[in-house]
A and B are shown apart, each in its own frame.
Chain A
């Protein structure tokens, strides 16, 4: 019906035909194809962020008995575009005594790290830029780069709040990455593959979703993923009652917007990974596959927003002890249980 895999194949073949007609070799074909794919992904990500920002404002407004943006466009739908235009026009202020190079590159690193993940995310049937055979490992390692960006921002800003925010986020993300990776390891034990496409195709039927075999793993992943994208109750790097705005304190204009974009992209990413690993990816009846993917992922994003607008914030030491003393042992137990299950049920 509305499946896009034919279209993708058509475009790919078209590019190949055109490039070959220009008398260039197969390397060029791949290169042009990849550039086009990257552009599509970037545009898609930008659209996703535009939507998510609006949606977050609407969702938070609903939680708080407000209307949210209502003026620009129907129910404020193009409010985000207006905001983005405003941010684009703003002067990029570089405060005195900042470490200029690092200060400039920090938002770029954060944003690129958030973006690069989308290479291996299966958006739908046939909609994946590169189905790497180490897909999930690639995602885990790329998301870690975000930390470097945040640390760079905190360090270079020459501001104590930014520095503390950067340190906090580094400590937090590194801590929660461990249980998150272990939760994913448990899934990988079942799938026997790291390729995102493979994992999705193993969950074709509703009862094959890995959430049924990995409920504990999913909960661990959910908590760790919330911490990973610095959302409430784990939003300590930006705790406004303690740290003003954390590592983004000194940023303004489009640089600030890039951190903002990265945050929302990360949110979408963790929800997309949850969809792929636990909820059957793009599999689903009646609707086209990419629509199923979006529905499931946005439901995941909604859960994160729900957390944010109802929960208070943890304290730093509580955050750390929760990760190391509770979540990590739980993740190990989950792995042991998974191993036992495989040993018993699979001859």
Chain B
């Protein structure tokens, strides 16, 4: 383990009184100058084109320099956890789809893994393989959205449509498989909703062959564009120790150079059988943990996901996907915390069962929630003054889904 794991206390910052405009902090010395007059507050969102949903950021500004960010969330709160306490286990699965609408299958997967661990179900090999294949396809689809919208936020329109062109193919595969394009309800507790249709494997292979070279196109179009690098490589730096202390996970953590991927370090399902690399931010064009690094981790992860998919398709065994689906899921008394690597990071479900057919408590640990909590730390750790345009770049590079933040 690298020594960045030596935990540090999170940097302290003043949380102002909620009755605004009275206790606005004086700007730090490093930004003050002769021109300085006073700080002011800017509300970014909830209706703003580059907050990726309904996130409200309360920015304390000194001119165009951002002094602090306070995220305000809850605009998309749908009481997932309370709903879950009143639903049978099989009925919760569709609700998990709606948390992260860009990676529904990963959410299904995480919840299914949690309940299966609680019930001690060992699902058939074929189910595990199909789960890995579709979860990795889902990761590609989700990262494609991240890539495309990041381009959009940086003012480049074309990457967005290129990304959606390829995502469309994945969605077509999913539609063929699950009947839905966004909210799948496909990975059930103990199995899958249905088996792979005939010809699906061949079509998926075709897609992987098509998609792999496209990643180079993305790099030529956006990743190595000089303007793009100037906009992102020295911006939004999240140092590794800060990332860890805030509990940031997933591509955002790996973008800070921390070698941590649940698929490898805490294997669930059958991820330990495949050969692939964990993509890491290396600080290629600036300090480590910059927006560009986070972006780059996602690009590399797409290639790695293709690798995993190919291996899983290679080893796909025969079997019955309905074999171990419990007729009525009644887990024994106890609790379980199962975590999986969703496209956004460590997605965990903590489920407490009292032996009945509904969970006593079901908590979802959202990677996006922890990620946006570190937004202010990014501002506080910035070496150079951070501008509003950099806030756009940073928020976009976190690739948050507000449905998951609010749950």
- Which positions in A face B, CB cutoff 8 Å? 60, 63-66, 232-233, 235, 239-242, 244, 309-318
CB A303 to nearest CB in B, in angstroms, measures: 16
Contact between chains at B153 and A241 (CB < 8 Å)? yes
Asked if A314 and B227 make an inter-chain contact with CB atoms under 8 angstroms apart, the answer reads yes
Residue in B162, B227, B387 whose beta carbon sits within 8 Å of that of A312 in the complex: B227
Contact residues in A for B162 (Cβ distance below 8 Å): 64-65
Residues A232 and B165 in contact, CB atoms below 8 Å apart: no
User: A123–B222 Cα gap in the complex (Å)?
Assistant: 37
In the complex, what's the smallest C-beta–C-beta distance from A96 to chain B, in angstroms?
A: 20
Q: Is there an interface contact between B230 and A242, defined as CB atoms closer than 8 Å? A: no
Of the residues B154, B221, B388, B390, contact of A313 by C-beta under 8 Å: B154
Which B residues touch A66, using CB under 8 A? Answer: 161
Main secondary structure of the interface of B (DSSP, over half): helix
Q: Please state if B158 and A315 are interface contacts (CB–CB under 8 Å).
A: no
Given contacts A65-B161, A241-B50, A244-B49, contact A310 B156 (CB under 8 A): yes
Inter-chain contact B230/A309, CB cutoff 8 Å = no
A-contact 0/1 string along B125-152, CB 8 Å cutoff: 0000000000000000000000000011
The answer to whether B228 has its CB under 8 Å from any CB of chain A is yes
Residues in A with CB closer than 8 Å to B231 are 312-315, 318
Cβ-defined contact, B227 with A241, below 8 A: no
- List the A side residues contacting B219 at CB < 8 Å: none
A sample of 17 inter-chain contacts (CB < 8 A) reads: A60-B157, A64-B158, A64-B161, A65-B162, A232-B155, A233-B227, A241-B49, A241-B50, A241-B392, A242-B50, A309-B158, A310-B225, A313-B154, A314-B227, A315-B231, A316-B389, A318-B231
Which residue from chain A places its CB closest to the CB of B396 in the assembled complex? A241
- Cα A242 to Cα B153 with chains together (Å): 9
- Residues of A within 8 Å of B154, CB to CB, are 241, 312-313
* A239 nearest in chain B by CB position: B155
Choice from A242, A311, A318 contacting B156 with Cβ under 8 Å: A311
Interface pair B155/A235, CB less than 8 Å apart:
yes
B contact residues around A318 at 8 Å (CB):
230-231
Q: Is the CB–CB distance between B165 and A233 below 8 Å?
A: no
A63: nearest chain-B partner, CB-CB = B158
Chain A residues with CB under 8 A of B50: 241-242
A125 → chain B closest CB, angstroms: 39
Return chain A residues, CB-CB under 8 Å to B221: 310
Known: A240-B49, A242-B392. A313 touches B155 (CB 8 A): yes
**Chain B interfacial positions (CB closer than 8 Å to A):** 49-50, 64, 151-158, 161-162, 165, 221-222, 225, 227-228, 230-231, 387-390, 392
A241 to B225, CA, bound (A): 19
Tell me, rounded to whole Å, the shortest Cβ–Cβ distance linking A327 to chain B: 14
User: Given B64, B156, B230, B389, which contacts A232 in the complex, CB threshold below 8 Å?
Assistant: B156
Cα A63 to Cα B160 with chains together (Å): 11
Not counting A64-B162, A312-B151, a sample of 17 additional A-B residue pairs whose C-beta atoms are within 8 angstroms of each other reads A64-B157, A65-B161, A233-B155, A241-B152, A242-B392, A309-B157, A310-B221, A311-B225, A311-B227, A312-B154, A312-B222, A312-B225, A312-B227, A314-B231, A315-B231, A315-B390, A317-B387
Which of chain B's residues have a CB closer than 8 A to the CB of A311?
Answer: 155-156, 225, 227
**How far apart are A318's CB and chain B's nearest CB, in angstroms?**
6
**In chain A, what residue has the closest Cβ to B149?**
A241
Question: A312 to B390, alpha carbons, bound, how many Å?
Answer: 14
Q: Complex formed: what's the CA distance from A315 to B161 in Å?
A: 23
Q: Which chain A positions have C-beta within 8 A of B228?
A: 312
Point out the residues of chain B lying under 8 angstroms from A309, CB to CB. 157-158
Question: Which B-chain residue is minimally distant from A240 (CB atoms)?
Answer: B49
CA distance in complex: A168, B158 (Å) = 24
Give Cα A217 to B227, complex, Å: 21
CA distance A242 to B51 in the complex (A): 10
**Smallest distance from the beta carbon of B234 to chain A beta carbons, Å?**
10
By the criterion CB–CB under 8 Å, are A242 and B227 in contact?
A: no
Residues of B within 8 A of A232 (CB): 155-156
| Cα-based distance from A233 to B389 in the complex (angstroms) | 14
A235 to B155 CA separation, bound complex (whole angstroms)? 8
A60 to B153, alpha carbons, bound, how many Å? Answer: 18
Please name all residues of chain B whose beta carbon is closer than 8 Å to the beta carbon of A64 when the two chains form the complex: 157-158, 161-162
Cβ-closest chain A residue relative to B160: A64
Once A64-B162, A233-B227 are accepted as A-B contacts, the answer to whether A312 and B49 lie under 8 Å apart by CB is: no
Q: Which residues of B contact A312 (CB under 8 A)?
A: 151, 154-156, 222, 225, 227-228, 231
5 closest A-B pairs by beta carbon, nearest first, are A313-B155, A312-B154, A312-B156, A64-B161, A241-B50
CA distance A64 to B231 in the complex (A): 22
Are B389 and A315 within 8 A (Cβ)?
A: yes
* Chain B contacts for A310, CB-based, 8 A: 156, 158, 221, 225
